[in-house]
């Protein structure tokens, strides 16, 4: 299987598809590593419900790592069947950590390079879940446009390095590469 990039819009089914894909690559369910990138939010019931739904779908034997340092985690164990869900929340955390919402996309060049490098060095089955936001409306704010542009650049760079690229629309996976 190698490296697989799974793109899709909100509620497209990309996470569920990715979970099935990585489960099929593990010799045993307890060998799957799930890297969850969503940061905790205070007083956000809807967000908590989204996270709970993701947790409920995961096999209980999977090893879950909640981190915003995806590159370091990928380098820690480079051959375990791994699912990263998702790069949109990871990117948001990176922008927040650098307080870069107003500074522009070049403030993230090093962190994008680091992630792409870690993905390239990964030796085991790897599924990366990421939002496809470039098909929607142009965001009315600078920060929204910056996020859209950065995730688009990151998705393109990762698609180039992954052996397989799939877009999920309305729950239907469509192979692109």
Task: Please confirm, yes or no, whether 142 is among the known catalytic residues.
Answer: no
Which residue among the candidates 54, 69, 70, 131 is catalytic per the annotation? 54
Question: Does the annotation place 13 within a ligand binding site?
Answer: yes
To 10 degrees, what angle do helices 45-57 and 14-23 make? Answer: 30
Question: Does the annotation place 134 within a ligand binding site?
Answer: no
Question: Does the annotation place 8 within a ligand binding site?
Answer: yes
Question: Does the annotation place 98 within a ligand binding site?
Answer: no
Question: Does the annotation place 107 within a ligand binding site?
Answer: no
139: exposed, middle or buried (C-beta count within 10 Å: 0-12, 13-18, 19+)? middle
Q: Of 77, 176, 75, 64, nearest to 130 (Cα)?
A: 176
Question: Does the annotation place 18 within a ligand binding site?
Answer: no
Category of 2 on φ-ψ map: left (φ > 0), alpha (ψ -120 to 50) or beta = left
Residues forming the active site: 54
Binding residues for GTP: 8-15, 36-38, 55-58, 66, 85
């Amino acid at each position: 299987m190698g490296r697989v990039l799974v793109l899709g819009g909100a509620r497209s089914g990309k996470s569920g598809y990715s979970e099935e894909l990585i489960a099929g690559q593990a010799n045993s369910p307890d060998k799957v590593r799930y890297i969850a990138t969503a940061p905790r939010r205070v007083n956000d019931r809807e967000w908590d419900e989204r996270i709970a739904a993701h947790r409920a779908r995961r096999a209980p034997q999977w090893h879950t790592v909640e981190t915003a340092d995806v590159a370091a985690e990928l380098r820690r164990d480079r051959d375990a069947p791994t699912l990263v869900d998702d790069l949109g929340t990871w990117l948001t955390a990176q922008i927040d950590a650098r307080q870069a919402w107003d500074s522009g996309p070049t403030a993230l060049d090093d962190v994008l390079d680091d992630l792409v490098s870690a993905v390239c060095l990964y030796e085991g089955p790897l599924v990366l879940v990421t939002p496809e936001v470039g098909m929607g409306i142009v965001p009315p704010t600078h920060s929204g446009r910056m996020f859209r542009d950065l995730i688009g650049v990151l998705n393109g760079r990762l698609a180039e390095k992954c052996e397989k690229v799939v877009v999920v629309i309305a729950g239907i996976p469509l192979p692109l590469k």
